[in-house]
Amino acid sequence: MVKYEGSCGCGDIKYAFEGEPINSAFCYCKSCQKHTGSDKWFGLWVPKDKLTFTKGKPATYTRKGDSSKDMHHRFCGKCGATVCVEVTVAGFYSVSASTLDDSSSFSPKMAIYTASAPQWAVFPEGVPKFDILPPEFSG
């Protein structure tokens, strides 16, 4: 089975996941803007049981998502890079494609929370945009 590996900026935290993500999305929500310092987060949605931390122990910041269920941000306590966010309402990690050792095989399938995007956001061409989530992922 295909395996992907990634790390934070300083290398203290490493992770790996097996198999293809169930979705890959640019998220423009305000939280993603804050924790990336950018207009979006490129998240690869990986079922929780497919991902393991192979080095170090990430720090956790927990906030409530739109569903009012917990979102656990896993980040490096040393360099501060967020490697993934555990979306507890759906049982998956949204893994930061930017932290993969090699993310060249991935491209976004959708752009979500575009209603929250900053006015200077850049959207990918030919990719469906959703104000919040596509109907199949909305509660």
- Verify binding: residue 95, Zn ion, rule CB under 5 A: no
Selection from 128, 100, 126 nearest residue 114 by Cα: 128
Stated as kind and residue range, the H or E segment containing 76 is none
Rounded CA gap, 126 and 109, in Å? 9
Q: Which stretch binds Zn ion (CB under 5 A): 15-23, 74-82, 97-105, 130-138?
A: 74-82
- Verify binding: residue 14, Zn ion, rule CB under 5 A: no
- Verify binding: residue 10, Zn ion, rule CB under 5 A: yes
Out of 19, 52, 57, 79, which residue is the one contacting Zn ion (CB under 5 A)? Answer: 79
Selection from 26, 30, 21, 31 nearest residue 41 by Cα: 26
Comparing CB distances to Zn ion, the nearer of 32 and 84 is 32
Rounded CA gap, 88 and 79, in Å? 25
- Verify binding: residue 32, Zn ion, rule CB under 5 A: yes
CB atoms within 10 A of CB 104: 7
Comparing CB distances to Zn ion, the nearer of 2 and 56 is 56
Q: Which residues bind Zn ion (CB under 5 A)?
A: 8, 10, 12, 27, 29, 32, 76, 78-79
